[in-house]
Structure 1
Amino acid sequence: MPFSDSRTPPPAWAVESGTAASQGAAVISMRTRRRVAPLPADPEGDPRTRGQEPDPHDWAREIVLRMLTASPKTRSQLAEGLRRKDCPDDVAAAVLDRLEGVGLIDDATFAADFVRREQSAKGLSGRALAQRLRAKGVDADTARDALEAVDPVLEEDQARDLVARRLRSMAGLDAVVQTRRLAGMLARKGYGPELSMRVIREALAEAPEHQRD
């Protein structure tokens, strides 16, 4: 039934967008993050004010651009966002294909940036990064390519740094308690047990409180 029938509300994905179609959208490239200034408001151009049915592809595109303006996202995350707005699957696929074609959606760039940022800022291991990429809908091949940038030497250095910082707040505790807590901390960040225990043993051996007189 067309939207011109005043008794029929527009679909949820159209209502959610509000007046975004008449105001334009901020377009953010995941490569350049350059903003495109919104178009001036045009009440005369809003199809709802003229009793016309809004084009579903336009509405879907506005929703996606809003999501990308908030933060970079994978195609899977954007598709899920459209599903929550009750956007038809065929419309979502067409819009996402188009935006992917012009470079506004790029899972490879997203994955590479995510790995670099999260390893540096949070000290996450390659295994933890792989899990997080998978949760964001990045396919296995794309994730594997991005994870090739993970430096195992840097990964071990980060584990040592994490242990050293945590040890400073655990002074006076028994070595067994310290070991258990440090191992749990590294496990939450995705470090394997072999690397974790080696780094922990070395750190405890060097700690003044555990050195023999």
Structure 2
Amino acid sequence: MSESWRGDVAAGVEAWTRGVSGDRTGPPAPRSRPTPPAEAVPDPVADGPPADPEAVARKILLDQLTGQARSRQELSDKLAAKNVPTDVATRLLDRFEEVGLIDDEAFARAWIASRQPGKGLARRALGQELRRKGIDDEVAKEALDEIDPADEQEAARGLVRKKLRSLSRVDDTTATRRLVGMLARKGYSSGVAFSVVREELAAAGRDEPEPDASR
């Protein structure tokens, strides 16, 4: 009796493998047919015309300015990172300046108003931050000149008083070194730093150590 799969290689392999596994009953399983590839769904966005660079740049600028002022340099860097053509970026930045959406002078004043009392930063540290923001040195100087020296010194005192609470277990020499170093990192000159630290240590009942004459 001839086997039902004879003459069909695929069916023969199927029958043989069933025989190896011990299942010799039943006809061979039908061969599966390959599933045809699904047709690609058209993407109207990807297949549409290329985006207008000026419209893209305008949206980037408006998104960046939503809820927060930014310097012209910050916005220029953002447009460059998005590969906006230079001529398009310059034209839009100029236009945004004309209508007052970009104002580096106002930005500098607002930055100082938020960072000087909040972080206790001195003029020098604030100037470095504005420079990193791309603010012109002359524009930054005019804004920094508006800082009241008394406010700057009061900010330094606040920093020292707060830090002193964590230095109750260290000697006065160590406390002085740490406090002066902290103020230096905030941009205060050594003269202002030592003066404020000396006065605050005295107010807290601690005396600043005398300088080591052997040094």
- With the length of structure 2 as denominator, give the TM-score of the two structures: 0.72
- Within 5 A, what are the aligned runs for 1:47-58? 48=45, 51-58=48-55
Aligned to 2:171: 174
SS at match of 2:66: helix
How much does 1:153 deviate? 1.1
Select 2:101's aligned residue among 98, 104, 107.
104
Partner of 1:189: 186
* SS of aligned partner of 1:208: coil
The change in CA–CA distance for 1:49 and 1:210 in structure 2 (over 3 A counts) is closer
Indicate whether 1:116 and 2:113 are aligned. Answer: yes
Counterpart AA for 1:152: P
* Alignment counterpart, residue 137 of structure 1, candidates 134, 154, 158: 134
Superimposed CA distance per residue, residues 29-85 of structure 1 (whole angstroms, 9 cap, x where no aligned partner): xxxxxxxxxxxxxxxxxx957833322111111111111115211000000001111
Aligned match of 2:16: none
Instruction: Report the counterpart of residue 87 of structure 2 in structure 1.
Output: 90
- Post-superposition Cα deviations, 1:137-173, rounded to whole Å, max 9, x if no partner, equal 0001111111121111111111112111111111021
Does structure 1 conserve the Cα–Cα contact (< 8 Å) formed by 2:198 and 2:207? no
**Residue matched to 1:205:** 202
Identity of aligned residues (%): 45
TM-score, normalised on structure 1? Answer: 0.72
Separation of aligned partners in 2, 1:210 and 1:172: 15
Q: What amino acid sits opposite 1:131 in the alignment?
A: Q
Q: Runs of 5+ in structure 1 lacking a partner?
A: 1-46
CA distance in 1 between partners of 2:143 and 2:206 (Å): 41
Aligned partner of 1:72 in structure 2 is 69
- Mapped to 2, the partners of 1:149 and 1:182 lie a distance apart of 26
Across the aligned residues of Structure 1 and Structure 2, the Cα RMSD in angstroms comes to 1.9
Contact 2:105 2:143 in 1 (8 A): yes
| Structure 1: distance between partners of 2:177 and 2:72 | 39
One-letter amino acid of the counterpart of residue 95, structure 2: R
Aligned-pair distance for 1:204? 1.9
Matched length: 165
1:152 and 2:149 are equivalent in the alignment: yes
Structure 2: segments with no counterpart, 5+ residues = 1-43, 209-215
